[in-house]
Amino acid sequence: NRALHLGPPSALKLKHRGLAHRHLGKLKDALHDFGAAARLNDQDATIYANRAVVYALQQDYREATRDLDRAAELNDAIPEIYQSRGLVEMLEGRFDKAEKDFSRAVALGASDNLLLYNRGIARSILGDSTGAQEDYAHSCRNGYRPACSFNRFISHTASAL
């Protein structure tokens, strides 16, 4: 807050304050700041991506998807945009789109365990047990324990068939 009062408001200052509000759980204030930042700089993909996270936290998936689509239009090289949009797609039951977004995030270099675990879930629901098992196994090897349970279950189910 103090930084905003030291000079004229800027998109960067508003974005950072929006991030602080989101971290504190002040979602209405975060939306206000991200909206103001977007009005000052409508070409910053990270403003839209961060506002989308707030919309998703409020379960407003339509607005979250709209902002993530805009963020991807502005900069299609940020893997977190696709990872976030994949999560929103999963929450909406669109597992085919979720899997594509998670795969795009991986193609852009993201490889965190939660991303691969979520892609594994989408793949499993879509019937790709081999791909799901690969994702779960990778996450499990890297210490993501929930993936280990899914990996054992899929391995056992596949061997029983």
3-state class (DSSP) for residue 75: coil
The secondary structure of residue 148, as a DSSP letter, is: H
Residue 83 has phi, psi (to 5 degrees) of -65, -45
Q: 140 vs 33, 101, 146, 147, CA distance in Å? A: 38, 21, 8, 5
Q: What is the mean pLDDT of residues 71-93?
A: 97
Report the mean per-residue pLDDT for the chain.
91
Q: What pTM value is reported for the model?
A: 0.88
> Burial level of 82, CB count in 10 A (0-12/13-18/19+)?
buried
**What backbone torsions phi and psi does residue 159 show, to the nearest 5 degrees?**
-75, -25
Question: What pLDDT does residue 104 have?
Answer: 98
Report the C-alpha gap between 39 and 10 in whole angstroms. 10
